Every structure is written in structure tokens, then in C-alpha cells.
Structure 1
Amino acid sequence: MTNLDACEPCLPPPPPSVVNDGHLATGRYAGRIAHIDWSGLRAAQQRSALWRRCHHKRWQYVGLAAEHWFIGLAIVDLGWAISAFVYVFDRQRRQVVLDWSQDGLPGLSGWVRDQPVQGGEARFRGLGAELCIRPVAPEVASDALAVRVVAGGLCLQVELDLSHAPPFLLAVGPVQGGLGHATQKSPGLPATGWFELQGQRHVLQGQRHVLQGATGSLDSSNGLLARETAWRWASAHDGRLGFNLQQGYFGNQENVLWLDGALLPLGAATFVFDPARPLAPWHIHTDDGMLDLRFRPEGARQARRDVWIAASDYIQPVGTFHGWVRAAPGGPTLPVEGLLGVTEDHRSRW
């Protein structure tokens, strides 16, 4: 597709810490960071321990895309509670065939560690359920992640291969109404394993550079966020191309394109869609002219909850992206056709 050199990332390597001399190490970086620690942030030191506990949010999200399936799962540490969900979208039936979620107490029901990828772990244990995202062999620094789920009638065992992955994105910066945020986003990762649902076993087989193979992607986020937080998000990957886009509380900090092994920064993203008709087509583009896509939803997971102290209004359509991207502003357009992924419209009071 392009002549980009996969060994020449277009972003600098990550800093040793998300805090530099008491301030945010704001920027976009190509690579993984070992640990996210906000204790040295001067602005956080001026807040109470209770404020830091209630505003510190961590989550691990995994998206698994295959020819006939999309599976999304997450473990979310809210500071004062922990939550988990998993859903399975059947592309042939164009519907969500499993939608499970559960809440618990942090520490007792689970946790999300401050190591976003390497050496970290996210785990949830609930009534008849267990979700775990962890290194396959943490004692030997294995470069693969194991994803295990038993919940709501689903049994899933998948490994994500990080060994030859293009650079991860690390984005660090200020957020609207909060103190700071850091997120580690992955490119498309070969996903191998299986899941069982409704008495049937389905095999996922991912191979590097195979466009139709099963692909996983990670979103490892950690921040001191505002009580009211809203965002729009889009993500899709195959063996050669992928992107992550966000419009909302984090600005354009996490907007990037993966293309033939290179990680390329993108400008601000605009999401054009009808919130009253989220399954109608979406138009998403960036202001630097490097990405222009139409999203065709096939179905969606959605939830609306309000329990007084917390609320969430959320929809995540699953579908395909069509349009074009560029490796550089003003460069030739590279077609995107039928790339499986998700969009999201999310508002939280947490």
C-alpha cells in the first residue's frame, strides 16, 4: 500500500513517566510505557485523597474482530466501584447475541493495574463470572496477552500476539474538567483462540498481514477525570491498516493512523451522525485531510443507566468503514473498503 518504513515511527518514543517535574508529559508517543503513576503530579497533590480516589479511572478494553463476529469486553475501575461487560455481535444475524454486565467492589471484585500492557493485569470476579486480561507468562516477560472470559453463558480463551506489533500509541495530556489522562492504544494484533456460546464453539485464527484474519485491539486508559465525561470514538484494524479517533474530553491527543507498520498522528476528528438514528450512516473525517470515512452500522450494543450517584448513556455500533486515508497531507489517497470496527457515543457521570 505504501513505502513507509516500519522501523521509522513518526512519533517520538515514550517518556519514562507520564509526569515530568510535577507536570504532565503531554504528547503523543510511539511505544509502550511500563507504568502510569500520577503521584508526582503537582495538581493532584493539591487535591484530597478522597477526590483522587473518586476521580481516578482505569480501564482495559479489548475488541476482537473476525469475519462473522465482533466481541467487545472491558474491565473498568471507577475508584469507588468496578464494572465489567462483554458482548458478542453476530454479523450474519446483524444483532447482539450476548450482552452481559456486572458491578462490584474495587479490590474485592477485581482491579485494573497501573501497568497498561506489559506486566499488568485486569481482572473481574462476580456472580458466576470471571474476566481476566493478563500477560500469558508474566514471569518470563512473554510478549502475548491472554484474554479469558466466563460470563453470561460465554466461555472465551484468546491470545493476542504482541511480538511483532507496530508501535503502540501512548497519549498523555490534560482533559476537560479533570487533571490528566494517559491512554495506551494498540494496532491490530493477531488473535487466536476460541469462544463457546449457545452450545457452539467458534475458532478465531489471526495471522500477521492477513486482512481477513481475526484481529484484536487494546485500549488501556488511566486518568484523573472529570465527574461528567463525554466522548465519541472510532476504532478499526486489520493486518495492515488501523486507526483510533476520539472527539471529546481528550481533544485530538489519541487520533492516529497505523499504516504498513508506521504510526502516524492525525488532526482533530469530526463525527457527523444523527444521535436519534445511530444506525444510520456516519461520516468521520480529520481536519488535516488525512482521513475521510463513511461508517455503515450493522447493529449496536447500547445501555442507559442512572443510579443517582452515577449514570451512563452509551451506544457502540458495530459495522464497516469505507473511504480513504493518506500517509501524509496532500499525498495520494489509499482506499479503505469494508474495514470492520466500531464507533461510540458515550456520556458518563462517574
Structure 2
Amino acid sequence: MPTPQRLVEDGIRHWGRLPDRPAAANPLDAYTGLTRRLKSLRLKEWVGFTLLHPDWYSSLIIQDAHYLASSEIYAYDRTAGALHQHAANAPGGSPALPARLLDSACRFERDGYRIAFSFSRAFARHRIELDIAATLKAPAVRGELELDAAAATPALSVSSRLPGGSMYTHKAAFPALGVLRVGDAEITFDPTRDLAVLDEHRSLLPYRTNWLWGTFATLTDAGEVVGANFAARPELPGEPEESCLWTPGRCEPLGDVVFEPASADPSATWHIASRDGRVDVVFEPEGRKRVKHNLGLFAIDYFQLFGHYRGVLRGAEGDFEIKNVHGVCESMKARL
């Protein structure tokens, strides 16, 4: 099927795995009047990146729950074993994450905290800009990365029904060029080695929400990106999952992924595999970022592990051995 221009056209939403991101993706376009206003209270949107570099592990996000907006970033220095974190909150709706994301820009700005993403489909170049002041707990984080969309993986673009809700996500991995500075440390990103994985969500999530998710990617000796994105959450029969293999020039559908931590120890390894064996990897954590709040009606118990993967991907045109590849693995349990 061709990529639709809009996720919702003439009031009817496109469902399934899409060839690419629609030019405009707003799930609220399927509703009108009071129903649209009520659905907007359930809409959860975010745009974030996982940065893949051999010496630093980092993720950053701009998210809007429409009753509260927030942004977070962490950077983990593998050599020093030091985790640096920044976060900020803002009124819901203030980040203005555009429906036409890949032809626009979004940013989160508070005093001493600025994260900005700009996307240019026409020029096949995207940009990440950071300007975050030092605090008593963490050093300043500043810099710019340019992402090469022409050399990116094919997109994972999925629109699916969930029990009590719906999901739209767009993901891709991009070679990254630029410099980030964390305090006195200078981190140089080399597009022949380093990647940024985009994660965009525009989902009407059920009140009780939980998922397991992970991703990793690497460049082969031939300069081609291989990797995987996988998730496990409550699903409806027959609906596509937000899981795939990235092999050279392909985004291969993946499903029935099982996450098995070796124990309840926070530092335990995880075995992650699809039932058909096309992904079979072990994730070894090096650290974790955790968010836990209980506010009565609303609660979050979330952690993201950062570390490295090893194992095998079995693509349609051959197998790829995974050795010491940086990635993340996370768990979310929430009342939103």
C-alpha cells in the first residue's frame, strides 16, 4: 500500500503497518466535537531519541500527557561509571509536538533547560540541539547533532488498536554527526559508527498501561544499519506490534516477543527473543534510570536500563551476529 498522506483521512483512520510515516499524524482527527475534546485528555505524545555511542549511553525525550508536559535527558559515562540526569516540567500542550513532525520542529524550553528537534524531509537532515545549564546535581549538557535521514533505516510506522485505546508510533535509526559536551567532557559522534534512534508516539493509551520495550542498532562493516525494535504489551488479536528487525534496506515485521529477566536483581541480564527465533539476544545492563511516583489516581513505575546486546538477528536475506551493541530496555507500569 502507498503511504497515506494523513493518518486519518475523511474521518477514517488507517490501521496496520504503514510503509512510512504519514505527512500528518494526529489520531484526534478521527473524532469531532465533545468526543474529540474528551479523547484529547487521553492522548499521550512524545518524541525522543536513544543515542548510540561506544563511550556514552544517553536518551532524551519531550513528552506531553496533555495535563502535564515534561522532558528528560540522561548521559552515562561508561569510563567513570557516572550517570548525569536533567528533567523539567511544563503545562500540558506547551511543547506543541506537530502532527507534521518530519517537516517541522519541536522544542521544550524552561529557564536553563532547552531541548529542540528539527526535521527536514526535503533536505534529508534532522537536528538535535541541547542547551541545559549545570545544576547542583548534574553538569551542563550542550551541543548539536545532525542526523542523516538519507542513510537511515526504513521506517517502522505502526497504527494499531489496543485494549481500551490505540497506538501510533514511528521509529527509525539515523547516522549521527556532531559534538555533545557534558561538563568538561567532549563527545564526538561519528556517522560511520554512531546512531540516533527516533521514537515518536501519538497514542490514546488506556488508563492502566504497561509495556516492555527495547531497541538497539549498529553499523556493519559495509556501512549499513542493522538492529531491532521490540515491545510486549497487552494486544488485541491480529493487531500489529511495534516490533521489527532493521536489516540493510529493510524494516522486517516482528511479533510475539518475550522478555525474560534472569532474576529480580536490577542488574540481571534479560533474554529477549521472538517465538519464531528471528531475534534472539541477551541484554546486559550497565545502569538504570528510574522514575517512580504515586499520586493516587495517577502513578508511574518506570525504569530504563542501558547497556549492551549480544546474540543474533535472522533477517530475510541472512543472519547478523550482534556483539557488544549499545541499546536500552525498559519497563513501564502506569495509571495515566
Same fold by TM-score greater than 0.5: yes
Match of 2:4 among 15, 19, 31: 15
8 Å CA contact 1:148, 1:158 repeated in 2: yes
Q: 3-state SS of the aligned residue for 1:163? A: helix
Q: What letter corresponds to residue 213 of structure 2 in structure 1?
A: W
> What is the CA-CA distance between 1:333 and the residue it aligns to?
4.2
Structure 1: unaligned runs, 5 residues or longer: 1-11, 208-212
Q: What letter corresponds to residue 308 of structure 1 in structure 2?
A: G
Structure 2 residue aligned with 1:6: none
1:167 and 2:154 matched: yes
Q: What letter corresponds to residue 144 of structure 2 in structure 1?
A: Q
With over 3 angstroms needed to count, the CA separation of the structure-2 counterparts of 1:133 and 1:40, relative to structure 1, is closer
8 Å CA contact 2:28, 2:40 repeated in 1: no
With over 3 angstroms needed to count, the CA separation of the structure-2 counterparts of 1:57 and 1:72, relative to structure 1, is same
1:285 and 2:273 matched: yes
Q: 3-state SS of the aligned residue for 1:219? A: strand
With over 3 angstroms needed to count, the CA separation of the structure-2 counterparts of 1:85 and 1:249, relative to structure 1, is farther
User: Matches of 1:122 and 1:313 in 2, distance apart?
Assistant: 27
User: Matches of 2:50 and 2:209 in 1, distance apart?
Assistant: 22
Q: What letter corresponds to residue 261 of structure 2 in structure 1?
A: F
With over 3 angstroms needed to count, the CA separation of the structure-2 counterparts of 1:196 and 1:26, relative to structure 1, is same
Structure 2 residue aligned with 1:100: 86
How many residues are matched? 322
With over 3 angstroms needed to count, the CA separation of the structure-2 counterparts of 1:232 and 1:68, relative to structure 1, is same
Structure 2 residue aligned with 1:144: 125
User: Matches of 1:306 and 1:228 in 2, distance apart?
Assistant: 13
Structure 1 residue aligned with 2:18: 29
Match of 1:234 among 214, 219, 222: 214
Structure 2 residue aligned with 1:128: 112
8 Å CA contact 1:53, 1:80 repeated in 2: no
Match of 1:342 among 328, 331, 336: 328
Q: Larger relative CO (CA 8 A, sep 6+): 1 or 2? A: 1
8 Å CA contact 2:66, 2:93 repeated in 1: no
1:267 and 2:255 matched: yes
With over 3 angstroms needed to count, the CA separation of the structure-2 counterparts of 1:40 and 1:128, relative to structure 1, is closer
Deviations 1:181-201 (A, max 9, x none): 211110x31111111122232
User: Matches of 1:265 and 1:89 in 2, distance apart?
Assistant: 31
Deviations 1:141-200 (A, max 9, x none): 32111111122421131111102323111100101221x2211110x3111111112223
Q: 3-state SS of the aligned residue for 1:51? A: helix
> What is the CA-CA distance between 1:53 and the residue it aligns to?
2.1
Structure 2: unaligned runs, 5 residues or longer: 135-139, 220-224
Structure 2 residue aligned with 1:38: 27
> What is the CA-CA distance between 1:31 and the residue it aligns to?
2.0
Q: 3-state SS of the aligned residue for 2:255? A: coil
1:84 and 2:68 matched: no
With over 3 angstroms needed to count, the CA separation of the structure-2 counterparts of 1:75 and 1:296, relative to structure 1, is same
1:191 and 2:176 matched: yes
8 Å CA contact 1:14, 1:170 repeated in 2: no
Deviations 1:185-240 (A, max 9, x none): 10x31111111122232221212xxxxx1111101111222122111001001122
Deviations 1:91-139 (A, max 9, x none): 223342x11111111344x2211124x113221111311111112xx5x
Match of 1:307 among 295, 303, 316: 295
User: Matches of 1:305 and 1:150 in 2, distance apart?
Assistant: 27
1:218 and 2:198 matched: yes
> What is the CA-CA distance between 1:37 and the residue it aligns to?
2.5
- Structure holding more strand per residue: 2
TM-score (norm 1): 0.85
User: Matches of 1:261 and 1:95 in 2, distance apart?
Assistant: 36
